[in-house]
Structure 1
């Protein structure tokens, strides 16, 4: 355009047209990044601040499509130049942040954490982080706070859009369908939105991470570009219309920032409001009072200019603070972290992003982009080497130990069990030996936690341990609730546990049935408690009628601690690794009371309480010497299972009945 700076036109060797610079759009970027950073650092201040990402999507769709549509219209569009510009815009800051994340991770992360990080680095370099996170999403997935590259999912979605969208526009332009472009973009956006809203009900993780379900947000910006001329004509009918549209847009954004929170169904319809808000603000134009006086002001523009490096930097810094401390850092620390993020982002913008963005070489215009791409691939190669373990010898010894204690790999099922019981559709299926089981361990993930420690001891006594169960599955016939007291989302547990208990009843070789489950996290109503008692009585009666010995294992203490932090051995950090036993005791008291009431009517049932093994002298610790007894705040590690297993084995192979553990005192 005529008012582009001369220097910028000289840099562009192909004389490609760029959109006119609008300071108010940088100001809108500031709104987006401020909301995201505040949400991550102080979620109570902006509970819906995550919608800043949706605002970024609209801005990106608008600006990128403006470039593509204008250049395809004049026949000057070049895929090589387009992607070269994207590389020079995105890669420099990304390379530095990935190097930082890898270096710090090498110093403070345990091996399973570091292995996950290296996978995230590789997926981020190829802009597939959203797919990696989607593959990890599930019951045992680590907290999002503990993933330093979690935020790069949005960058991956954007880049995936940028790969396909230019191709689509060029094809439409080549087939003389340009006049129908707005309708085509509108149809795509509606299809993406409706599909995503439908998927949100059944698979919220898919709706959040999959690019074709978030594409409508970028397409909203593209549609604004395609219809901008008509929109300007409409807004020019009344001089006050642009001002109202901008104010309405900001109102929509502020509303969702404070009306939504991390538990709100999202994206779906909830994402419509920040997207519409961003569209309204951009459509209002740079001359609207709100845009001109506020968004285009120097403070907002400055923050907008550093929004990309600030987005890259703030989350790894906050995440590593959380990882090292093992808990949410103090408010003062988070304030310092945000300030540090802004300072590093500004330096990155001034010293790296801005100088490299326009660099090309006269004889080899693509050389700088190629060099950046090779550098990013080298980081991926370094991460792959780290993931393979070749750098373990150079890492602190404390971070390499306990590797098996911090992974669920191989704990859910084994081939022997799946081969023996192909018709039982359970999440957990473990069988120690390829022969008939003699002891059945049935229940949820807390029951499964015991398997690795108990199986060798059962085998040593000439028996064979079978473990069948599922996530949050109460170990009773026709369970009325999840094991922790929440209503069922699906009936998956009922089928799996009914099949497992039926196998225990009808298999004459199974002499002992061990039932275990998590404490009641949710307070049971009188009706729920009555239903749970009835289900347990039915289960006990059917097992007794089949002449099975019944052992019920009370829940082990859940400790609100991070076992990873307790093993980092950082001299300047002293994480909390021990808690008073009264707290975990109180948390599971409802379960103890219910089982004690049932036990009064079933004197031949053995109740095992692991509390006196895991908590001593009124204190519960996540560590035993240099070993972690927990994999997280709610599940035993392999060493933890081995630590408790002798107590369970004594109950199984002892001829006595009654209560074993603290409850017997």
Structure 2
């Protein structure tokens, strides 16, 4: 296929515009991320078409293929990486510069998807406002595909006919899609970032390019084009951060993109194709690669410097992104794209290798220490959340350190047998120092079982962290079953994330609604130990303006009246997602509920600063100062639980003697 497809340039526009608007923060485009999947389909189609033409003309050359890829991808990418690094050197705090160095190294070697996957978060959970190269994960997926696919296709063309090749590609498509559907339940983070679960999207384009005939009539082309636009547009507005993705949810946009491309294979262009071929959409499509490269660093650095952006500034970000993309396309992309236009093949490879090496080394060196010498020591310390976390943080990570009953931390009053346990996720880790301070004051000691993302939900496992949940649930039961002297359990967890973001599997492998899983799992734990007292701790608000990093940026960029807040109505709306679960559990006879919101919020707002002190270490974790605000509650709870236990023992003794 050699003819120019103006509708495909328009399809690129349909792909990039929702991505940019979603990333910029226009909430109506909550599913704008599906544009990346549309790009994958387009890439698979164009690359396969180009390779098939080479094979049929017997002009295939792996060197020529990679030369085209280098001319297409590298110049604009290098320009973006270099400028992102220079701006980062001026703006980014050391820990953020470490992240930039790591991700720059990953971007240069096209392993960004592996880099961000290894952070054990997710695309929506990462501190994305401080990751200017987060978007390069999709480029890494494409380039990894391009490493293997041309070689595979060359081998297949040597030994198989076109129809057999198409059938084999269809098999690979089905296998990858099936793996993606399976991983969307079992390992959603890997599913999002890794090539094996994304390959089917590129292969969808490859299948259209590998022997599929165009529509046999104008009417079929019209129906196909209209249905394709429906499949493309609806997810952009209907999907959101909580939509399991990719997997089944990715089928509509992928199918829509494939149908648009297929509808244009016939002799006449459909109405959808003519719409996409509009000059304005075609222009946006032409600059779409540069727009994808530049929009995200512009968003990140704008938010980094301004801390937050209003509606006018969002529009300014979009305009600046389009302007930067236009310049990049005109003066970087186009001059390098034509073979021989700027330099010969050998020179191109040498320069590309050299730039890759320099940028990789720079990224590696920066990742070592974040170039701390750019700032005074006091600034470096103030920006580090560990400065505000308090003591005993080494007692977390119960799963990573494979804690056992014998190796769990025992904290509180020295020389006292533990009679309580703190169990929870990283919010439990943040609250634990204050709990043990309270225990020390009342002469008690306890165990700590905390790990990032862990909630003691008996009978349930978190999607993607099944092994962690099995291990820690087993440890929790062993501690409570094996130590009858334990009379109280304190459970501080990140409730909003637990019931709205994370997914869970029941013991028989079924996916269960998050709120139901949290309620049933905690209820099972509580009912298993009816004679123990439970204290459930609800967290307060969260905001990207909270924490050490934001406060330090406010100082650096001279925001003298920095006083971050979350309007109380926003917090109440967030709290509503878990309040019902918490209230129902709180009605159980051996359960008490407490909330940090009672100390960090009033009738107007929730506050990121209390009496001039940081209430949070980052956007959602409490500082040591704030965690201590509930010490009176912890002391009262621990003393009552101990008195109840002692009273029960005395009653049992009297009953025994009377018998």
The TM tier, using the shorter chain, reads 0.7 to 0.9
Deviation at 1:430, TM superposition (A): 4.3
Which residue of structure 2 aligns with residue 577 of structure 1? Answer: 564
Corresponding position: 1:309 with 2:281: no
Which residue of structure 1 aligns with residue 616 of structure 2? Answer: 630
Which aligned pairs between 1:375-414 and structure 2 lie closer than 5 A?
Answer: 375-389=355-369, 391-395=371-375, 398-405=379-386, 412-413=396-397
Does the 8 Å CA contact 2:31/2:241 hold for their aligned counterparts? yes
Deviation at 1:148, TM superposition (A): 2.5
Does the 8 Å CA contact 1:614/1:621 hold for their aligned counterparts? yes
Which residue of structure 2 aligns with residue 60 of structure 1? Answer: 43
Deviation at 1:325, TM superposition (A): 4.5
Deviation at 1:339, TM superposition (A): 0.6
**Alignment equivalent of 1:369, drawn from 326, 334, 349:** 349
Where do 5+ consecutive residues of structure 1 fail to align?
Answer: 1-17, 544-549, 659-665
Which residue of structure 2 aligns with residue 152 of structure 1? Answer: 136
Whole-angstrom CA distance in 1 between matches of 2:525 and 2:70: 61
SS of corresponding position for 1:441? strand
Corresponding position: 1:261 with 2:231: no
Whole-angstrom CA distance in 2 between matches of 1:216 and 1:606: 50
Deviation track 1:305-356 (CA, whole Å, cap 9, x = no partner) reads 10000011112222333444445x2221111100110000000111111112
Which residue of structure 2 aligns with residue 516 of structure 1? Answer: 491
Whole-angstrom CA distance in 1 between matches of 2:612 and 2:454: 32
Does the 8 Å CA contact 2:541/2:606 hold for their aligned counterparts? no
Deviation at 1:504, TM superposition (A): 4.9
Does the 8 Å CA contact 1:444/1:473 hold for their aligned counterparts? yes
SS of corresponding position for 1:515? strand
Which aligned pairs between 1:484-499 and structure 2 lie closer than 5 A?
Answer: 496=472, 499=475
Does the 8 Å CA contact 1:551/1:652 hold for their aligned counterparts? no
Does the 8 Å CA contact 1:552/1:608 hold for their aligned counterparts? yes
Q: In terms of mean alpha carbon deviation, does 163-172 or 405-414 score higher?
A: 405-414
Does the 8 Å CA contact 1:25/1:282 hold for their aligned counterparts? yes
Which aligned pairs between 1:32-431 and structure 2 lie closer than 5 A?
Answer: 32-138=15-121, 141-228=125-212, 231-232=213-214, 235=215, 237-285=216-264, 287-290=268-271, 293-327=274-308, 329-358=309-338, 360=340, 365-389=345-369, 391-395=371-375, 398-405=379-386, 412-413=396-397, 418=402, 420-421=404-405, 430-431=409-410
Whole-angstrom CA distance in 2 between matches of 1:283 and 1:61: 13
Deviation at 1:505, TM superposition (A): 6.3
Deviation at 1:621, TM superposition (A): 4.3
SS of corresponding position for 1:442? strand
Whole-angstrom CA distance in 2 between matches of 1:525 and 1:610: 21
Whole-angstrom CA distance in 1 between matches of 2:50 and 2:226: 27
Which residue of structure 2 aligns with residue 451 of structure 1? Answer: 432
Deviation track 1:368-415 (CA, whole Å, cap 9, x = no partner) reads 233133213322222221221162111465355342438999563269
Whole-angstrom CA distance in 1 between matches of 2:209 and 2:432: 59
Deviation at 1:64, TM superposition (A): 0.8
Deviation track 1:530-549 (CA, whole Å, cap 9, x = no partner) reads 9978975874x534xxxxxx
Whole-angstrom CA distance in 1 between matches of 2:343 and 2:322: 37
Where do 5+ consecutive residues of structure 2 fail to align?
Answer: 501-513, 644-659
Corresponding position: 1:468 with 2:449: yes
- Superposed CA RMSD in Å reads 4.7
Which aligned pairs between 1:602-621 and structure 2 lie closer than 5 A?
Answer: 621=607
Corresponding position: 1:565 with 2:545: no
SS of corresponding position for 1:70? helix
SS of corresponding position for 2:29? coil
Distance 1:626 1:402, change over 3 A: farther
Deviation track 1:252-274 (CA, whole Å, cap 9, x = no partner) reads 32233334333323222332222
Q: TM-score, normalised by structure 2?
A: 0.77
Whole-angstrom CA distance in 2 between matches of 1:299 and 1:592: 52
Does the 8 Å CA contact 1:87/1:373 hold for their aligned counterparts? no
Which residue of structure 2 aligns with residue 500 of structure 1? Answer: 476
Which residue of structure 1 aligns with residue 650 of structure 2? Answer: none
Whole-angstrom CA distance in 1 between matches of 2:272 and 2:524: 64
Deviation at 1:171, TM superposition (A): 0.9
Which residue of structure 1 aligns with residue 511 of structure 2? Answer: none
SS of corresponding position for 1:45? helix
Aligned residue-pair number: 612
Does the 8 Å CA contact 2:13/2:285 hold for their aligned counterparts? yes
Distance 1:530 1:32, change over 3 A: closer
Distance 1:606 1:382, change over 3 A: same
Whole-angstrom CA distance in 1 between matches of 2:180 and 2:223: 30
Q: TM-score, normalised by structure 1?
A: 0.76
Deviation track 1:461-500 (CA, whole Å, cap 9, x = no partner) reads 998652014567677xx86999xxx99x989869846753
